[in-house]
Homo-oligomer: A and B are copies of this chain.
Amino acid sequence: MIIVMKPEATEEDIRRVIQTVESFGFKAHSVPGVSRTGVVITGNQGAIDPSPYADLPGVADCVRITKPYKLVGVDLHREKTVIRIGEAEIGGAEMAMIAGVCAVETYEQTMLTAEVVAEAGCKWFRGGAFKPRTSPYAFQGLAEEGLKILADVRERFGLRIVTEATDEPALDLVEKYADVIQIGTRNMQNFSLLKRAGQARKPVLLKRGMSSTLEEFLLAAEYIMSEGNYQVILCERGVRTFSSHSRFTPDLTVIPEVHRLSHLPIIFDPSHSTGKRDMVIALARAAVAVGSDGLLVDVHPYPERALCDGPQALLFDQFRQLVSEVRAIAQIINH
């Protein structure tokens, strides 16, 4: 951290800052400028709390330099993390297509969809058994019954299951039935749930909060990793902006930035970020072109009867075409 002094700061002000720095066991380096002095702090191991300095007389600003996370960053772990379950991978050479139903509604709807996903050569299946809904009066998912249907999908088609846990009891069940535990956007800073996920023995797919900065997103992953679970997949799902023609504004720049700052894989959810079928296809292609490690896509046999988010679900034919397009794009950018 560098503490920037005001132009009118006195020698005594600077001395007081230096003493405060030293009282925490850090080193202070005074760097005089033409009109202001800066005090650089070194000797710290993690991030420094600016509180003790911000209000000292003569202090204009505290500028942080060190990143506040450790385990998610490339400084300590340079090799890219690859999540592997059997032959299915996320973060490996192949782009991971995680497709399925937004919500598990019936056995038939789920199996019809899973068949199409498997035939398209995908290895992962998504489906919600616990649905976080904005209104208390909306369909909230089939719970354990839904998880059993998903386990049947794995049994029958060999697909690996990704499903959301909305609270700790749900996480206990998801950990038992599924392959990857999803933490939703509304729970990205549900720190108790993150800690519980950090104690799980299965990989965690963490969605970015709809208004979280990249740093907050990485710190949420740090919560999981700091409990000992290093199998974390990040997922961009759009951020909240003034723009209203799509449900959220997908922030694809976060994908190259995560690749630069972290060893964790990052995938993209075009369905929940846009909320509109036509945009799902276009943005899914875009995410692969940007370098996403995978996609999380909603498909539905008859979206007009879907209990949840029908307008964003792809039809089977659209899904098949999307798979072939994104594979071709992935090949171009990996050449």
**Complexed CA–CA distance, A306 and B51 (Å):** 7
CB-nearest residue of chain B to A247: B253
State whether the Cβ of A31 lies closer than 8 Å to any Cβ in chain B. Answer: yes
**Complexed CA–CA distance, A65 and B59 (Å):** 13
Tell me which of A41-49, A85-93, A112-120, A146-154 binds B.
A41-49
CB-nearest residue of chain B to A287: B286
Nearest CB on B from A200, distance (A): 16
Q: Give residues of chain A (21-57) contacting chain B, Cβ–Cβ below 8 Å.
A: 29, 31-36, 38, 40, 42-47, 50-52, 54-56
Q: Is the interface of A mostly helix, strand, loop or mixed?
A: mixed
Q: Give residues of chain A (101-139) contacting chain B, Cβ–Cβ below 8 Å.
A: 132-137
Cβ-defined contact, B61 with A65, below 8 A? yes
State whether the Cβ of A219 lies closer than 8 Å to any Cβ in chain B. Answer: yes
State the A residues within 8 Å of B (CB): 2, 4, 7, 29, 31-36, 38, 40, 42-47, 50-52, 54-56, 61, 63, 65-66, 68-69, 75, 132-137, 166-168, 170, 186-187, 189-193, 210-211, 213-214, 216, 219, 222-223, 226, 239-246, 249-257, 260, 274, 277-279, 282-283, 285-291, 303-306, 309-311, 325, 328-329, 332-333
Q: Across chains A and B, which 8 residue pairs bring their CB atoms closest together, nearest first?
A: A211-B211, A51-B310, A167-B192, A286-B286, A186-B189, A285-B289, A33-B42, A246-B253
A-B contact pairs, 23 of them (CB 8 A): A2-B65, A38-B40, A47-B137, A51-B304, A52-B305, A52-B310, A134-B219, A135-B219, A136-B223, A170-B192, A211-B211, A211-B242, A214-B244, A240-B240, A241-B249, A245-B257, A252-B252, A255-B282, A282-B290, A285-B289, A289-B289, A328-B332, A329-B329
